[in-house]
Amino acid sequence: MAIYGYRCPHCSDIDAAFPIGSAPADMPCPDCGATSVRVFSPPMLTRTPAAVSAQLRRAERSASEPEVVTSLPRRRAVGAVATHPATRRLPRP
């Protein structure tokens, strides 16, 4: 079922559910009985957060054009303790 929008000339906008492709061009207003015409409304598209969108674009781009690495990643020194606050209470080796 799809939700279609109708505009009554006397009342407010109306939403009605019909099977896809079977919505009439006009329908009676449930409040006043006047003829309500169908209006176009964009589909409900959700926006993804900018960080998620950037990561998705990066992942798509790396499928065909892998990123070039110019240096080795930094490694922690042996015996270095993580600085995350949650790890401060862990027992030390």
Per-residue pLDDT of the chain (93 residues; tens, 9 = 90+): 788 889 998 888 888 888 988 888 898 888 888 889 999 877 766 677 888 888 888 888 888 877 787 888 777 666 665 677 777 777 877
d(C-alpha 10, C-alpha 33), whole Å: 10
Task: Enumerate long-range contacts of 15-18, CB under 8 Å, 24 or more apart.
Answer: none
* Domain residue ranges in the chain: 2-39
**Residue 32: CB partners within 8 Å, gap ≥ 6?**
8, 10, 11
**Residue 44 has what pLDDT?**
61
Q: Which of 16, 44, 38, 30 is nearest to 2 (CA)?
A: 16
CATH fold for the domain made of 2-39: Rubrerythrin, domain 2 (2.20.28)
Quick check: pTM over 0.85?
Answer: no
Q: How far is CA 93 from CA 54, 78, 79, 83, 88, in A?
A: 39, 12, 9, 15, 13
- Please compute Rg for the chain using Cα positions: 29
